[in-house]
């Protein structure tokens, strides 16, 4: 008589490397998609719906087979690249201004969905020449780990100014 010990098998499962995502994208079945020919459940860390910071992130999966007598649990990891997001910039086209008007907050009023600062070109206080002119805003996010710098442009029309004519009342002749 011989005692034969049959050890549990480690189930084979596949987890294809996920495609890169952009910051703000929640983890979903597109990234958490391991599969096996053995029946069982997959537990992911981080879990579905998690939001990850930009950079290279490690995802972990643990496979628990339904048949725990013949199969043991197995764990695997994969790397996911989370790209920086570009913050959305809203900048309505400013109303036309007359020549000689200095640019100010009325024209340089871009906003973003993320916290940060704007740098305008031309800068506030600049008086533009008549005609269609291009304004540019560069947005520098406060969170430069997850957001990249963004740029937006709008056109502004600078109307020619009506010249002021002064004509003093002439002296009697």
Kindly report, residue by residue over 69-104, the tens digit of the pLDDT: 999 999 999 999 999 999 999 999 999 999 999 999
pTM over 0.75: yes
165 pLDDT above the threshold of 90: no
The answer on pLDDT for 6 being more than 90 is: no
Question: For position 12, what pLDDT does the model report?
Answer: 87
Report d(CA 94, CA 105) in Å as an integer. Answer: 10
pLDDT (0 to 100) of residue 13 = 86
- Peptide bond preceding 78: is omega within 30 degrees of 0, i.e. cis? no
Q: How many CA atoms lie within 13 A of 46 on its CB side?
A: 14
């Amino acid at each position: 008589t011989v005692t034969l010990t049959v050890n549990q098998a480690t189930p084979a499962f596949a987890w294809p490397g996920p495609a890169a995502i952009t910051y703000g994208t929640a983890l979903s079945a597109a990234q958490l998609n391991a599969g096996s020919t053995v029946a069982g459940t997959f537990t992911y860390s981080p879990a579905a719906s998690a939001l990850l910071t930009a950079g290279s992130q490690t995802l972990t999966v643990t496979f628990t087979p339904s048949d725990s007598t013949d199969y043991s649990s197995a764990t695997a990891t994969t790397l996911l690249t989370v790209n920086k997001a570009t913050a959305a910039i809203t900048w309505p086209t400013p109303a036309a201004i007359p020549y000689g008007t200095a640019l100010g907050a009325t024209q340089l009023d871009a906003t973003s969905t993320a916290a940060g600062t704007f740098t305008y070109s031309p800068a506030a206080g600049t008086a533009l020449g008549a005609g269609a002119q291009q304004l540019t805003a560069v947005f520098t996010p406060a969170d430069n780990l997850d957001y990249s710098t963004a740029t937006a442009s709008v056109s502004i029309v600078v109307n020619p100014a009506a010249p002021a004519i002064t004509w003093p009342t002439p002296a009697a002749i």
